[in-house]
Structure 1
Amino acid sequence: MPRNADNEHHWHTIAQRYELEPGPINLENGYFGRMSREVRGQYLEHVAFINRSNSLHVRQRFERGENDEIRRQLAGLIDAAPEAIAFTRNATEALQSLIRNYNRLQPGDQVLISDLEYDTVKGAMRWLAGYRGVEVIELSHTHPASFDSLLQTYRQAFEQYPRLKLMALTHVTHRTGLVMPVEAIAKAAREHAVDVILDGAHALGQIEFNLAQLGIQFAGFNLHKWIGAPLTLGFLYIAPERLADIDPDMGEFHYPATDIRARTPYSTPNFPALMTLPLVLQEHQALGGSAAKGARVNYLRDLWVSQVRPLPGIEVLTPDDPRLYCGITAFKFVGRDQQVMADRLLQDYGLFTTTRTGAAFGTCIRVTPGLVTSAADINVLVNAITELDTL
């Protein structure tokens, strides 16, 4: 086990950096993360400052160099060149821009999605059918999933559908926390000349990865989930050698066609949030980065999964292969209404979770610990599931 992952004193000290609202134990940290007290304070200071200075600072300082330095620091987070990234409001906006502006499709081509993709990604790929004349191929993954079954599903699709040109792939699926074998799938896709657009919304800050090693040339990310930034911050990534394969967004002209920033809508961003990002990145690295954060939430995940998986009326939907899971994991009360059971977790035990729908296996309950979650919180969850399983 990585150092400090199970050190409750260490993580209690870290948890003190965050302010919590009294009430239920929050095990739905996958929606968005918290800002630390220090980040929140600086963000509010920047809000006040920009409100006072208005466009003067933005025009004279931010647009003339500050934004470039912030972009350079963000690029360092994923070991990319600054010219390979552009700020967006979130991963969804980034992925929609990449899908909408991918210019290598012809009528009759095929694009690929699975049941585990984020709904807006599914919608964007289906949109291509009406506006580009392509056919959308939709896969449902077998359950329970394994490394080999996931890879084989895509290999079969590449063989079965020779007109495939583009696919969406989610690194960490938001429904169950399943971690896709991205490198192996991307390698198989390249062998069949299929481009991959990677949804990295839940991966960044929770999993260590290298985009070049993964073989990924197009991706979208969030900064408000596991990195700890204010809401409204995300970014897209395009490998510089592939920039010409993504058109400027709806004729965007504020930046030249050789600039990745032309691939996103030009608009007034959240300046205070962007100005706070260097502190966010500094804190992320000081905590130990994705390695430390991922190890901690994985440890908490293992605590509850190891105890509830054997229960007769519980089905844990996320595999225990360490290559295929992260801190997020989903389960079911077999034969019961999952929303009713999630409501009971909240009302009877003070545990806030969320239900997820849209996958072939139906509705599930998603559990996502965070940096403020303790082992004691997890014990409350285990006891609650165990009691409810007997009712």
Structure 2
Amino acid sequence: MPSNAQIARDEDYWLAIARRYDVEPGPINLENGYFGRMSRAVVEEYQRQIDFVNRSNSVHVRQHFEQIGNLQIRQQLAELLGVDRQAVALTRSASEALQSLIRNYNRLQPGDQVLLSDLEYDSVKGAMHWLARHRGVEVIEIEHAHPASFDSLLASYREAFERYPRLKLMALTHVTHRTGLVLPVQAIALEARERGIDVILDGAHALAQVDFQLSELGVAFAGYNLQKWIGAPLSLGFVYIDPQRLADIDPDMGEQRYALDDIRSRAPYGTPNIPAWLTLPRVFEEHRSMGGSALKGARLNYLRDLWVSQVRELPGIEVMTPDDPRLYCGITSFRFTRQPDQQTMAERLLKEYNLFTVARSGSRCGPCIRVTPGFTTPASDIHLLVQALVQLG
């Protein structure tokens, strides 16, 4: 039986996968990190559920979805993640989940310190600074050395832990949206736990792109998207809380619809996108049929390696993520070192080469251009990217 690495290189196999998706004619999309495509089968199921909920209205929702259906869907999600159903609650996005965790974490006292790095998502940074204004805590911000290594990343946190003894809580991003750098979460979380520091993990870009076991990461709190690499409809994410730590997160805004020992009280309440929820069983089935996170990740990493291996030594090009397989995934950024404006260069890639990418900034490594292949991306598109970088570099 061929290995995941062998299947990842099989263009005929991935052409068959690509045929599961409808793709609008236009630029070559190398910005698949914003949100993922739904397969045709998922779109059809989503449309079927929209039509059904619209027809049945509250009769079905009150009698079945609220009483039975949403519990069954949560159970399937928990089984996919390998955790207890009581550890997860659906939200509208990873950002919503993370903001709720940060807002409702109840173990902080005035004068405590909270930690974030230059790699965090902007909404997470904003939420941590909200804590400073409303809880009287001090926000500690660190920047990671560039280029990064496994040891340098771990050392950055060790140094912060030693330097700031009043640290009680930290944000940690599994895969940064800026460069695609993968943080060694398990090692960092272990160091934090030994010092009594809780971690709130941003897993938005990691789920189904990085092969991991949530229960083995060593974090008690996390937020995830279902609308990126899992392939669910937009408006879906979930919050994870270790059931043994549920009491350390207050019900969101005093939510009383659910019992105090029910994680669903920790998620913002509102009428959800019910058809999207009802589509999730088909989403999970499709995810598994594509080989799950292990094969999906192998394919995306192969496409990443295909272009990075050919341009890393090019004059005028700097690849922002290292080649340590522990520290990268399908998302990888680069910059044109001879050009001051990376946004202008991203626009040139689109205008002159029909390649759609996105500029990113905010981390110590500086402005860059993010390249994110997807499951419909053939190797031939990656070769076009390489040609463009050779000519523009």
| Amino acid of the structure 1 residue aligned with 2:314 | L
Aligned to 1:259: 262
| Amino acid of the structure 2 residue aligned with 1:234 | G
Aligned to 2:175: 172
Aligned to 2:68: 65
Aligned to 2:391: 387
What is the distance in 1 between the residues matched to 2:51 and 2:365? 48
Give the Å deviation of 1:119: 0.4
1:329 corresponds to 2:332: yes
Give the Å deviation of 1:90: 0.5
Q: Secondary structure at the match of 2:329?
A: coil
1:350 corresponds to 2:369: no
The 8 Å contact of residues 211 and 217 in structure 1, kept in 2 or not, is answered as no
Aligned to 2:211: 208
Aligned to 2:37: 34
| Amino acid of the structure 1 residue aligned with 2:348 | R
Superposed CA offset, 1:138-163 (max 9, x none): 00100000000000000000000000
Q: Secondary structure at the match of 2:284?
A: helix
**TM-score normalized by the length of structure 2:** 0.98
Alignment of 1:293-308 (within 5 A): 293-308=296-311
Give 1:369's match in structure 2, choosing from 350, 354, 373: 373
What is the distance in 1 between the residues matched to 2:48 and 2:147? 48
Q: Secondary structure at the match of 2:170?
A: strand
Q: What are structure 2's unaligned runs of at least 5 residues?
A: none
RMSD: 0.7
What is the distance in 2 between the residues matched to 1:79 and 1:304? 34
Give 1:18's match in structure 2, choosing from 17, 21, 40: 21
Aligned to 1:9: 12
Give the Å deviation of 1:210: 1.6
Q: Secondary structure at the match of 2:168?
A: strand
The 8 Å contact of residues 147 and 365 in structure 2, kept in 1 or not, is answered as no
What is the distance in 2 between the residues matched to 1:345 and 1:97? 38
Q: Secondary structure at the match of 2:7?
A: coil
The 8 Å contact of residues 82 and 215 in structure 2, kept in 1 or not, is answered as no
Give 2:253's match in structure 1, choosing from 231, 238, 250: 250
Aligned to 1:152: 155
| Segment drifting more, 343-352 vs 209-218 | 209-218
Give 2:240's match in structure 1, choosing from 233, 237, 254: 237
The 8 Å contact of residues 246 and 261 in structure 2, kept in 1 or not, is answered as yes
Q: Secondary structure at the match of 1:196?
A: strand
What is the distance in 1 between the residues matched to 2:244 and 2:345? 49
Structure 1 stretches of at least 4 aligned residues deviating more than 2 Å after TM superposition: none
Q: What are structure 1's unaligned runs of at least 5 residues?
A: none
The 8 Å contact of residues 33 and 226 in structure 1, kept in 2 or not, is answered as yes
Superposed CA offset, 1:47-75 (max 9, x none): 11111111111001111101100000001
Aligned to 2:138: 135
**TM-score normalized by the length of structure 1:** 0.99
Aligned to 1:116: 119
Give the Å deviation of 1:362: 1.7
What is the distance in 2 between the residues matched to 1:113 and 1:173? 13
Give the Å deviation of 1:209: 1.2
Determine what percentage of the aligned residue pairs are the same residue. 68
